[in-house]
Amino acid sequence: MVAEQQQPAKLRLAIFYGGKSGEHEVSLRTAAAVIGALDFDKYDIYPVFISKQGAFRLGSPLQSAQVGVEQLQFSESGGDLLQTLFEQSGETFDVVFPLLHGTYGEDGTLQGLLEMANVPYVGTGVLASAVGMDKVMMKKVFAEAGLPQCKFIHFTKSQWLQMPDQILAQAEQLLSYPNFIKPANSGSSVGISKAKDRDQLQAAIELALLFDRKVLIEEAIDGREVEVAVLGHNQIDASVVGEIVPSNEFYDYKAKYLDGKSEMVIPAVLSGETSELLRKLAVKAFEAIDGSGLSRVDFFVERTTGEIYLNEINTMPGFTPFSMYPLLWKETGKPYGQLLDELISLALLRHEERQALKFSLE
């Protein structure tokens, strides 16, 4: 009589999505796409909806991959999941996949919560998430690592209120026009403007300060926008290079999510030498912030000189099957479902490594 083989236990996987962010709706679409691609034979999948007010709501385990955005939004009734997370000491779930973009999602706050609850989670840790979200701190870390960047200045709201004329003069002297104005902490190009004169610059600063207390002004590079996906923990892999051809003057929120006219060219038409250098710089940027799991690293390649400028790193990039990050890996040889499995495995590896650390001298 042949012994019956025991099936491996399924992982209890929680999908966190929504959140107190201007990218709430983007997160919902990402969650629906990821759930649709997960293997239900490997995972018991629990949806965790975070409302725009910041309430955590746990839904019933999902029975089907066919889930719409409407089904992923739960009412405000019932208990708050946070209480459960801490009371259970992380035993509620085996691993969490946080699919939140922007503030309170990829800025280290949620990651810190999950560290306190001792729950493994997909993606970068607290420090890397915070540095990757704050464009000013990110640029300072990249500068320390010797990575090539365009010229920039930064200031706080209080500094702007105290000396606006000096800041405007500094921007004009160092950066000239046109230039880009960005809130230090925002995602999906929210609050970003391009200024061609002093009036536009002043209006753009006022807009950026609605979204954050710190503002960054950068010189405008006449460059091609190219991106590299990175994946790994102690060993980091880089994807092929992709190029964004924006439908607007620059790749803003409308071009990313609304008009559907921007074009992705994968792989980007670049020399082999330039592509390889971009991949190496992407890994170096990921290591500079002590990244883990995943990130998308964005560059400019200057049109006339071919000079490379590192723009930013995104520690929780768009993740629908039609987003740049998964498409880059698909072209590199990792289909969407395999990519999700690898990210979950990396989350468990990172957590196991952290659990082996000592936290006292006893």
**Among candidates 15, 16, 27, 347, which has minimal Cα distance to 187?**
27
Q: Is 188 annotated in the active site?
A: yes
Q: Which of 44, 257, 262, 337 is catalytic?
A: 257
Q: What is the largest CA-CA distance in the chain?
A: 87
Q: Is 186 annotated in the active site?
A: no
Helices 324-332 & 336-355, crossing angle to 10 degrees? 100
> What is the end-to-end Cα distance of the chain in Å, rounded?
52
Q: Is 350 annotated in the active site?
A: no
Q: Which of 17, 18, 21, 23 is catalytic?
A: 23
Q: Which of 21, 275, 314, 323 is catalytic?
A: 314
Q: Is 314 annotated in the active site?
A: yes
Q: Is 298 annotated in the active site?
A: yes
Radius of gyration from C-alpha coordinates of the chain: 21
Q: Which of 227, 252, 312, 342 is catalytic?
A: 312
Q: Which of 296, 323, 325, 336 is catalytic?
A: 296
Strands 193-195 and 152-156: unpaired
Query: Could you tell me the two tokens for 69?
Result: 């955005």
Cβ atoms 97, 293 nearer than 8 A? no
Q: Which of 298, 309, 323, 350 is catalytic?
A: 298
Distance of alpha carbon 277 from alpha carbon 235, whole angstroms? 18
Cβ atoms 12, 18 nearer than 8 A? no
Q: Is 257 annotated in the active site?
A: yes
Q: Is 296 annotated in the active site?
A: yes
Query: Could you tell me the two tokens for 217?
Result: 């002004």
Q: Is 312 annotated in the active site?
A: yes
Q: Which of 185, 188, 239, 311 is catalytic?
A: 188
By annotation, the residues acting in catalysis are 23, 188, 257, 296, 298, 312, 314, 318
